[in-house]
Amino acid sequence: MSDHELDPLPYDYDALEPHISEQVLTWHHDTHHQGYVNGLNAAEETLAENRESGDHGSTAGALGNVTHNGSGHYLHTLFWNNMSPNGGGEPDGELADRIAEDFGSYEAWKAEFEAAAGAAGGWALLVYDPVAKQLRNVKVDKHDQGALWGAHPILALDVWEHSYYHDYGPARGEFIDAFFEVVDWDDVADNYDNVVPRFE
């Protein structure tokens, strides 16, 4: 059984201001993300105990908790690393070429991603689909509803209300615009480079 831990943010809590406030990052990372780590560890402990005892009365619930909390932990970790105080702009290099190839243009990709972010009840993700061998945008509710099997997220935007209500109120579109001011395209490109060679 793994003992999952919450990594520190890769920047100071106030580093993304004025786009994302220090208060939101503190709550979101230290309390909210920590809750998913705790939930994942608790669910895995329950499964280990059930395997040892042979009593699987609580196994189905624990399996669901692994999926929910594990997805929450993994996506939040990606989300933090996808942002930087030196972010913004547009991708370049191979990632930019691939976005243009798979979506027609960066502008077409961004418009589709923003539509996903505006409609999602959880996350907008840019993923690499190794079956179709292409990038896709995915609209995910909660942490795992609407996910595509086998796809590898390389860019994650959390659009749960706890991500933006303190800073933007119900103006989710303003938060989405602000996210693009801090996207670390170098990190996204690294994620792309790490995934694609395994499948193409």
Q: Which residues are annotated as a binding site for Mn(2+)?
A: 28, 76, 158, 162
Dihedral of the CA atoms 133, 147, 73, 26 (nearest 10)?
100
Residue 145: closest CA among 78, 75, 61, 56: 75
Q: Which two tokens stand for residue 85?
A: 């105080």
User: Is the CA virtual torsion 13, 193, 4, 160 positive or negative?
Assistant: positive
- Using CB atoms within 10 Å of the CB of residue 15, give its burial: 0 to 12 exposed, 13 to 18 middle, 19+ buried: middle
Q: How far apart are CA 163 and CA 76, in angstroms?
A: 11
Q: Which two tokens stand for residue 186?
A: 């170098």
3-state secondary structure of 20: coil
Q: Which two tokens stand for residue 1?
A: 């059984």
Binding site members: 28, 76, 158, 162
